[in-house]
Structure 1
């Protein structure tokens, strides 16, 4: 067997090749791309024992090449997987701890990191996770779901920046507009981004923007309330400062409009991609999971049937299971913060939404709160239970059943 440590960078890869005794067979720096990968195959072929394939050529023994690298994405990793190599994505934090084991002086180099990665997969690979054999369909879904979620996070950041700017020079806008991300609010802020122009807005102009944004309810009453709030006496910044802030707010409002359009388009793509997956019916049957949130959960967990040995393994990957630290007589249990932030956020929302449709989930949450467990801690524990339930459904190929999921909750059985 050959063990390869691959310390990657944007333009090159530092490679170390070892045999099963730890003897170094090769060390080199390869360029990124086809040329570098071809050279890596040549080195592997030079040192790997091969066997006949029945047609007069030699091919590598299956599973005989094991690669350690600090990423699980990119065309280089995809090419390694396509060649049939076993690839382990080593967490950079784990690699740093192994480096300290080999070199206590604190010295660091790319070649040294490649050696550490090779040693990890040679000696300790059973304690690390191989890159999952997910389908291309779920990989594509992950790209769409993460892009959609990332844009929502970007919109929130820009929204907070705009709110901060308004608070500095135009606090009346925060009183007048109950939702800064609403289309009518963004349109009015672009039309009147400072107190002087906002005070000149008429009820008719405001009503027209509300109608254009399809605002429901009594638009005239809403427009009157907004007009009165914008005209109320307030403290003012100097004119030059207000003009500068107004330019900033207009730019933020236009950016938020564009982001909202892109988010809506991506959401439709996420839903379409999710509904085509064979596991979509099982995932959507779980309480609190619709097309978008279900797509995030499925995409982050993947669809490799052999990826998780048991429900505990899936819970650990989700970051919902707690961490226990015990030393002597002291024992503490804390949340797991080193985790997949996309999956952790999805599970947190899933737990919150599940209480609206699942009596069992609601009763479980209420029981935790009755024991004076905090809101977020209770949601984490509820999410942990839901991840275990989903694992059972996917493993057995069955849809969610409330009574089976919560057999000891009277309200679930009664429902």
Structure 2
């Protein structure tokens, strides 16, 4: 890798890491004032914990070479000692590890929005530890590692000559469907907030929501386009143990296409959301515009390198409109997903993943391909959804029944910030 590509790769790593504070701001503004510290701490807690786990053993687990196609040996290079002491490749490989860590961090942080206002911080950290270890580290290997079973699903089902594989450039399955399904599971485990009904709370700080959305949109260019400069050897390996990290599988990735699609789909999703909001509620809101931007970013994540710009615009418009409707599901179905992680990330991730089955350049059903691409996308999405839901539900249920996951009702009413953290988001002078 030349110095310019390495510099961009380091910058992209910083951009994606910055997205998690963006999530903290976005979520923090949406909750009530007495929960903002708790909400933001769950994101910052994930940054601290998941980065450490990834360096110690998470990266090793996503190589999918210990249990072929499924899991890597967590102790194969514990703490990355061997990698760090291989001078000829250490710089590039360790940067790749760092880039992959940022994906793991934000995936876990996204889940926290479903349990706003009512979760114990210590229990959340235990959940984050177990969910990352059991779920994310494995799923990342399924999707992005050359050994992973999802990575090779097209060859397995249709043979090499079919020329079709699962497309998930930057995380429609591994990040968004994964986080959204886990969010649904935790919402069911923790139950409804006190006084759960439509309009239970309003965002306490709309500018904070907009700031968070802006940071996410800014960082997402690193999320989607960050891997496009990464060099992969002719053998298809990117490190000493053969791991391919988030999105690193494509040499000569169409960087310009990725950037314009990330911009266009997101912009179209803003319009899609606020149009539906205007038709449905009579007003287009700033929170709706911010939420639409996030929905568009989610949907374009798996498909940013495999759609023509016009189809990316259509995807954004669909994702924004559908997600604006999907967030109403919690009221109809009775699960309390506090900040609409299910409606935005799970639904948006499914839309973006399946859309490729129809409109992926050259392989989509409507663009020269057959049903193969759609079948592959559906299998990948469904498998990750079910696996994530089951893991999160079992882990969350076990925590709730042992040390407890949810705070007491009286503490929820008093405010989770003071009862759990002993702090207030806004200390006003008397």
Q: Normalization by structure 1: what TM-score?
A: 0.22
Whose relative contact order is higher, 1 or 2, with alpha carbons under 8 Å and at least 6 apart? 2
Structure having the higher Rg = 1
